[in-house]
């Protein structure tokens, strides 16, 4: 299995609080992605990174920001959490980009009350 | 037409049966396609990559029909352990677009 970890694995937070999720990889892959998965919607891309300090928006980026200061870490921040951001968040990595295979972390289950 | 469309199922088939499901896509620029398997409350895991007309790996066969813009996944001699949700993934094929995941087809194999 690819070396990808996510932390925390579960989090419950209140509306309006900031939340940061961490994705850590040991594969030295260039590309990293954040997705959310909700019933009926499948996986939707939030943001992705194509290198250190290089990021771009995905399909559902509103309310989220990301940062990548090191190859191995990709952080997802919810500036002010809302109930609509209750979801399961998956990080993924890829060596060659969006047109190639991705490998997923175990996910973070976030509940915003 | 949705960018990536899958029959949500569930497909409920007996052990040992052959089952197939399709995924239609609208982005004609996509050159590669993927099937992922996702177990309940787990992360998606890569099952098969499709870069040309098709790919076969043991009991699993993926086929691509570019003219009709769909990919299919065939599972032969199904096992109880094949029960999962199967996600179709269509990469963008260009920097102007983003990767799209299908919502998944749920497969349940019964003894």
Place of tokens 């919607």: A41
Q: What is the pLDDT of residue A43?
A: 92
Task: Measure B78 CA to nearest chain A CA, in Å.
Answer: 24
Interatomic CA distance for residues A60 and A76, integer angstroms: 13
Residue B39 has what pLDDT? 96
Cis peptide before A52 (omega within 30 of 0): no
Cβ distance B3 to A44 under 8 Å?
no
Nearest CA in chain B to A105: B43
What is the tens place of the pLDDT at every residue in A53-86? Answer: 999 999 899 999 999 999 999 999 999 999 999 9
What are B58-104's pLDDT values in tens digits? Answer: 999 999 999 999 999 999 999 999 999 999 998 877 766 678 899 99
pLDDT at site B109: 97
Q: Among residues B107, B94, B99, B93, which one has the least CA distance to residue B32?
A: B93
Cα gap A90→B99, rounded to integer Å: 15
Local confidence band at A33 (pLDDT 50, 70, 90 cut-offs) = very high
Residue B1 confidence (pLDDT):
63
Q: Are B6 and B105 in contact (CB under 8 A)?
A: yes
Say yes or no: B47 contacts chain A, CB-CB below 8 A: no
Q: Least CB-CB distance to B46: which of A41, A43, A101?
A: A101
> What value does the mean pLDDT take over residues B15-36?
91
User: Measured between CB atoms, which of A101, A104, A105 is closest to B49?
Assistant: A101
Taking an 8 Å cut-off on Cβ atoms, the answer to whether B99 and A101 are in contact is no
Q: Which residue of A has its CA nearest to B85?
A: A42
**Token duo for residue B7:** 């029959």
Instruction: Pick the more confident residue, A67 or B51.
Output: A67
Q: Let me know: does A44 contact A108? Beta carbons within 8 Å.
A: no
């Amino acid at each position: 299995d690819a070396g990808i970890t996510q932390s925390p694995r579960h989090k419950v937070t209140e509306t309006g609080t900031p939340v940061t999720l961490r994705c850590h990889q040991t594969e030295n892959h260039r590309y990293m992605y954040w997705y959310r998965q909700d019933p009926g919607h499948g996986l939707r891309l939030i943001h992705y990174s194509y290198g250190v300090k290089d990021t771009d928006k995905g399909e559902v980026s509103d309310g989220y920001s990301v940062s990548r200061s090191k190859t191995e870490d990709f952080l997802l921040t919810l500036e002010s959490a809302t109930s609509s951001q209750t979801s399961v968040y998956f990080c993924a990595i890829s060596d060659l980009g969006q047109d190639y295979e991705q490998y997923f972390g175990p996910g973070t289950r976030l509940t915003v009350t | 037409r949705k960018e990536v469309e899958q029959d949500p199922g569930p497909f409920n088939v007996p052990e040992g049966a052959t089952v197939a499901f399709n995924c239609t896509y609208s982005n004609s620029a996509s050159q590669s396609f993927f099937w992922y398997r996702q177990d309940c409350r787990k992360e998606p895991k890569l099952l098969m990559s499709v870069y040309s007309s098709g790919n076969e790996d043991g009991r699993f066969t993926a086929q691509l029909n570019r003219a009709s813009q769909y990919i299919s996944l065939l599972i032969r001699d199904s096992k109880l352990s094949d029960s999962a949700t199967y996600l179709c993934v269509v990469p963008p094929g260009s920097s102007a677009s983003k990767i799209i995941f299908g919502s998944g087809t749920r497969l349940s194999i019964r003894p």
